[in-house]
Structure 1
Amino acid sequence: MVEGATAQAPEGAAGEEPLPRQFGKYTLLRRLAAGGMAELYLALHRSVASFEKLVVIKRILPSMNQDRAFIEMLLHEARIAATLSHPNIVQIFDVGQHDGCYFIAMEHIHGEDVRSIVRAMRRKSVAEFPLEHALTICLGMCAGLAYAHEKRDLEGGVLDIVHRDISPQNVVVTFTGDVKIVDFGVAKSVQAGDEAEDGKLLKGKAPYMSPEQARGDAIDWRSDIFAVGVVLFELTTGRRLFKGSSEYETLHMITERDYPRPVELKPGYPPALDAIVMKALAKRREDRYQSAREMQGELEAFIREERVAASQVGLSSWMRFLFEEKLDQQKAVLQDIKQLADVLSAEHPTPDEEQMGSGAGMIAGSGVSPAPAPRRSSTGIAIAAVSVLAVVAASVLYLRAGQPTRGDADPGRAPGGTGQRDAPGDVAQAAPAPTRGSLEITTDPPGCSIWISGDLQQEVTPTRIDNLPLGRELELKLTREGLEPHREKIVLTATEASRTITRKMALGSVTIALKVTPRAAVWVDGVPWKGDPDRIEGITAGEEHKIVLAADGYVPKTLTINARPGETRSIEERLFKLPPGAR
C-alpha cells in the first residue's frame, strides 16, 4: 500500500492530508465536500492494462467509524444500493475499508442537481421551469424509482428498497440530458427490519417527506412517490409546497393541512397534469399511485395527449444554455493540467498494478503471469487530467477550487515541472506570482449562502472559495434566512492572494403593514405597540412573533408572524363584535 507524498505540506487546512494521494486502489484528486458523517472526493480508479475511471469516493469520517451500529447499517444498505444498475440511478461501484476508514465508491456525473438548475434559472432571468423539461426530469425519476422498488434478490424476493430522500438536491440532470437519482447509498430495504432505529441516523429532507414519514411511521415505496409529486408540483408551479418557519411547522403542514391544487395557483395549468400531481400527493398512501411505474405511465400518456415536446435532447440543450458560463470556465483551468499530470505520474503503482506479477494477478489456468503494465506516460495522465478538469468544472459536485496554480506547485520540483530538484550551486529561481486567489469565509452563525459578484456559490459557510481572480473588485454577499444580508467589496492581489474573512451576522428585521377594521390597539409579543398602529417596524426576522389586535366591544385576535429579513408583510384583518352582554 502506497501513501501519496505523506511528508508534503497539506494542500488545504492544517491537519489535512495532501492531495493527490493513494487511497487503496483509488487516487484521491480533490476533496469535493465534507459533512457531519462523510467526506466526498473526486478520485481516479487505475487498474490493470492502464484502465482508468473517474469516481466519487464517500469516505466515512473516523468519528463515525467508532459507531458499530451505524457502520453495520451503512454497509448493509450500501451493498443493497450497489446491486442497482439503471440509467436513472447513480451507480455504486465499491464498498470497502482502507486504513481503518469505510468508504463507498460511486459513479461521477457531469451535470447539475435540480436545485442548482433553479438557481441558474434565476441568474438567467428565466421565469418559469419549462413544462417539457420538468416532465422529462420526473419521468426519469419515476423510471429509476420503479427499477429500485421492484428490484429482486438472487432468490427472486422483492427487496422493497425505498430511497427516503427524494428531493431536488438528489436528482441530477447531466449535460447530455440524462436524469439520475443520487444518494441511493442511504436507501432502505424494508426487509432489514430496523426501520425505527435507522430513522435516528438517516432521514429525508422535511419539505419532501410523505405524511407517514413525517409522523415517524413505517414507510414503503409509496413514500418516494409522494416526494416525486412534491418535486413535480414545485417545478410546474414555481412555488414551494411545504415551507414552514421551522422544521416542526413544515412537518405539521404535511400531516395536518390541506394541500393547494396547481390549477388554483397557476392560471392555465393543465387539469390532467393537476390530477396526476394530486394523486401522487394523496395523504393516504392507499390513494396514491401504487407504483412509480404507474405514475410514469400516466405522465407519458399526458405528454402524448398534450403533445408536449419532452425530450432528452431538448433538456441537454437547455442545460448547456443555463450553464454556458460555467462550462466555459473549463478552458481557464487547462493551463494547470501539466502540473496535475506531473504529480500523478510520480505516484507509485496502485495495489492492482503491483499485483500484476504476483500469483494473485496470474491469468487463470495458464500458469503465466501477465506482462507488467507499461509505465503511465505524462501524455496518458494529461488526458486523464483533461477529463478530470472538464468534469469537475461543471459537475454535480462542482469544485470551485481550481487545479493547483503555478504558485502551488510541489516545492520539490523545478519550475519547468521536470520533477528534479535544483542541483547544488544552481541559482534558485523566484516562485512565479500567484494568478488566482482564495477566500476563507466563516460566519457566526454558520450556514450562510455565499454570493461572489452576483454568482451564488454551491458551498455555505464555513468554507473556502478558490480560483478567484486577482486585481478585480469582487462583491461578497452573505445571506441566510432570518439574518440581515452582509455585503462588502474585496480585492485580492498577488501579494495578498488568500484572505480569511470572519463576520458576525446581524439578525434581520421586518415590517408589518396592518389594516384593521375597526381601528384597534396593537400588542407585539405582549408589549403595547407605541408606534404607528398601521405599521410595525423593526421586529426580528426569522422568529415567531405574537401580534394581538384589540378594540372595545370586539373579539381580540391573535396573529402569529414569521417573516424574512427585509420583508414587508401586508395584513388585513376584521374584528368581530362581542355578543350582547359579553365583556
Structure 2
Amino acid sequence: MLREDQLAGVELNGYLCEQPVGRGGMGVVYRAKDLKLGRTVAIKVLARAFSSDEKQVGRFKREGKAAARLNHPNVATIHNIDDLEGLHYIIMEFLEGRNLEAVVESDGPLDPREAARFVARVAEALHVAHQAKVVHRDIKPANLFLTNAGEIKITDFGLARDYGADDGLTRTGQIVGTPHFMSPEQGEGKQVDARSDIYSLGCSFYFLLTGKKPFEGDSPIAVMVAHIREQPVLPHEINPKVPPAMSQVVLKMMAKTPEERYPTMAEVVRILGRMEESNAAEPEQAKKCAPEPVRPEPARAEPATGRGLGGSRTGRNKGLERARAIQETVQKSTRATPDMEGGDRREGWRSPTRRMGESGPRAGVDRPRTTGPRSGAGGEPSSYHKRKGSREAGPKRMNPLVPIAIVIGFVALALVVVLLMMK
C-alpha cells in the first residue's frame, strides 16, 4: 500500500516523485518530474489518514478545481488532479522560494512600497477569482508565495467556495479560515462574499508592513472576538516607515462591516496603483491618493476573552455605550461653558484614536490649553465686579449660563442611571 511519506522514487501515473519539499498535517509535497513533457512539477499528496474522509477528500479536490479555473500569473497553476491506490494528489506548478510569512519572520517587515506592490498583485489575482465566483476564504501570508524570481503566487484554495452555487459560499454557523486573518463575518459564522477576502488581505498587508498580526489573544476564540470588536494599532505607529496614507488603506480594507470596505479587489488595485505612481512615501502626494481618513474607535476596556459572541451581554454593552455617549455630551457641554470670570474653558478636543491606557497630550494632536483675556484686564473692573454706588469691587456674580449647564448635567446623569438600571 502506498503511503504519502514514502513516495520518493515512485511513479504516479506518469510523474516520478523525486524528493519531499514540504510536509504538513494534511500531507506531503514532492518535487517531481513530468515524464511525458520533461518539466519539473510539484505533487501535493493528501495524507493516507484522510483518504477515507469524504469531507477532507472533497476539500482537497475542491482546492485543485478552484485554482484550475483561474488563469492568472499570480495564481499557482494546477495541471491535474488524480489518485492511485487510494492516494489522492494534485499536480501543480513547482515553486521555488518562500511564503511571505517566512520572509517577514526571517527578515522583518517589508519595505512599504514593496509590500504595496505585492498586495496589488494578489488583489489583481483575487479579482479574477471573484469574477469567476470563487472566494479564497483563507488569504494569509503563509498562502502567499514569493518565488526566487520575485513573483507572488496565491496558493492553497482548499477553503475556496463558489458563491454562485446554490449552497452559498458557506453555511451559516460554519467557521472556517485562520483566526489571525479571518474577517469578522467569518468569525461569526455568517455568509461571506468576496469582501471577506478583502479583509483578510488587509490583515496580511498589516503583517507585511509591521511584522505583527493585527490582533493577538490567548486562544483562537479570543482572536476572533478581537476581530469583531477591537481596532488595531495603526501600522505607521508601529513602523514609522509606513506612510500614514497607506495605513488608511489598510484600515479601510479591515473595516468591521463589508459595506465599509472597498467594494471590490479592483478598487484596491486602483488605490494602490495611484499611490505607487505618486510615490506614497511623499506625504503630500500620498494624501491625494488615499481614501478618506478612517479613524479607529477607542478600544473598549473589556478584554477580548471570547465572551460577547452570545446574546446575553449584547444588550448591556449597547446600554453602556449609550450611557457613555450621554456622559461625554455632558462633559463637553461643561468644558464649553464660559468661565465665571470671562476666561474660555478648553473645548474638549481629543483624538478619536487615543487608545486605552494613554495619558497626557499627544504631539500634533492635542491642542494646548489657551486662556482668553480676563474681564477688566485693561485696568477697569468688569461690570460683574462693580458694586452699585461704590467704587470698590464686590462679590462676583454668577454667570447666568452656569445654572442652565448644571440642570442639563443633572438631567443627563439621571438618564445615565436609568439606562444602566434598565440594562
* Matching residue of 1:121: 107
Distance of 1:263 and 1:308 partners within structure 2? 12
Determine which of 25, 45, 54 is the counterpart of 2:14.
Answer: 25
Q: C-alpha deviations, 1:524-564, integer Å up to 9, x for none?
A: xxxxxxxxxxxxxxxxxxxxxxxxxxxxxxxxxxxxxxxxx
SS of the residue corresponding to residue 258 of structure 1 reads coil
For 1:19, give the aligned amino acid: A
Equivalences, count: 285
Task: Give the match for residue 42 of structure 1.
Answer: 31
Which secondary structure state, in structure 1, belongs to the residue aligned with residue 39 of structure 2? Answer: strand
- The 3 A distance-change label for structure 1 pair 271 and 43 is same
1:572–1:291 distance in 2 versus 1, CA, 3 Å:
closer
Q: 1:179-198, aligned counterparts within 5 Å?
A: 179-192=152-165, 193=167, 195-196=169-170
Q: How does 1:374-413 map to 2 (within 5 A)?
A: none
Task: Give the CA deviation at 1:90.
Answer: 0.6
Deviation of 1:165 after TM superposition, in Å, equals: 0.9
Query: CA 1:197 to 1:39, structure 2 compared with 1: closer, same or farther past 3 Å?
Result: farther
The equivalent of 1:133 in structure 2 is 114
Give the CA deviation at 1:260. Answer: 2.7
The residue aligned with 1:288 is 261
Give the TM-score normalised by the residue count of structure 1: 0.45
Q: Find the aligned partners of 1:16 and 1:280 in 2 and give their Cα distance.
A: 40
User: 1:112 corresponds to which letter in structure 2?
Assistant: R
Q: Partner residue of 2:83? A: 97
SS in structure 1 at match of 2:176: coil
Q: Which runs of 5+ in 2 are unaligned?
A: 283-356, 360-423
Q: Which has the higher helix share?
A: 2
The residue aligned with 2:403 is: none
| Aligned equivalent of 2:214, options 232, 237, 241 | 241
C-alpha contact (below 8 Å) 2:180/2:216 kept by paired residues: yes
Residue 67 to residue 239, structure 1, CA distance change in 2 (3 Å)? closer
Instruction: Decide whether the 8 Å contact of 1:77 with 1:189 is kept in 2.
Output: no
The corresponding residue for 1:512 is none
Matched position secondary structure for 2:142: helix
Provide the TM-score with structure 2 as the length reference: 0.61
- CA deviations on 1:435-486 (whole Å, 9 max, x unpaired) are xxxxxxxxxxxxxxxxxxxxxxxxxxxxxxxxxxxxxxxxxxxxxxxxxxxx
Q: CA deviation at 1:59?
A: 1.4
Whole-angstrom CA distance in 1 between matches of 2:45 and 2:16: 13
From the two aligned structures, give the one with the greater strand fraction. Answer: 1
Alpha-carbon distance change, 259 to 16 in structure 1, aligned in 2, over 3 angstroms: closer
2:91 alignment partner AA: A
- Structure 1 residue 211 corresponds to structure 2 residue 200: no
Q: Are the counterparts in 1 of residues 62 and 158 from structure 2 also a CA contact under 8 Å? A: no
Cα distance, 1:74–1:85 mapped onto 2, change above 3 Å = same
Q: In structure 2, which of residues 229, 245, 249 is the aligned counterpart of residue 272 of structure 1?
A: 245
C-alpha displacement at 1:133, in angstroms? 1.4
SS in 2 for 1:95: strand
What is the distance in 1 between the residues matched to 2:58 and 2:249? 39
Separation (CA, whole Å) in 2 of partners of 1:18 and 1:90: 23
Counterpart code for 2:255: A
Closer/same/farther in 2, CA of residues 59 and 198 from structure 1, 3 Å limit = farther
Contiguous gaps of at least 5 residues in structure 1: 123-127, 152-159, 310-570, 574-583
Rounded to whole Å, the distance in 2 between the matches of 1:27 and 1:81 is 23
1:272/1:572 CA distance change after superposition, 3 Å: closer
Find 2:71's aligned residue among 71, 85, 90: 85
Alignment of 1:415-494 (within 5 A): none
SS in 2 for 1:191: coil
Aligned partner of residue 66 in structure 1, secondary structure: coil
Q: Assess if the C-alpha contact under 8 Å between 2:171 and 2:190 holds in 1.
A: no
- CA distance in 2 between partners of 1:177 and 1:42 (Å): 20
Q: Matched residue of 1:42: which SS?
A: strand
Query: CA–CA distance in 2 between the matches of 1:73 and 1:120?
Result: 31
Counterpart contact for 1:31–1:40, Cα < 8 Å = yes
For 1:92 and 1:239, the matched residues in 2 are separated by 32
Q: Describe how 1:328-339 pairs up with structure 2 within 5 A.
A: none
- Contact 1:77/1:188 (CA < 8 Å) preserved in 2? no
Distance 2:239 2:6 in 1: 52
The letter for the 1-side match of 2:119 is: C
Q: Is the 8 A contact 2:162 2:168 kept in 1?
A: no
Query: Which protein is bigger by CA-based radius of gyration?
Result: 2
C-alpha distance in 1 between matches for 2:200 and 2:60: 23
- Does the C-alpha gap of structure 1 residues 572 and 255 become closer, same or farther in structure 2, counting only changes over 3 Å? closer
Mapped to 2, the partners of 1:18 and 1:293 lie a distance apart of 42
- Where does residue 315 of structure 2 map in the other structure? none
Verify: 1:220 aligned to 2:201, yes or no.
no
Q: Note the C-alpha offset of 1:181.
A: 0.9
SS at 1:89's partner residue? Answer: coil
3-state secondary structure, aligned to 2:67: helix
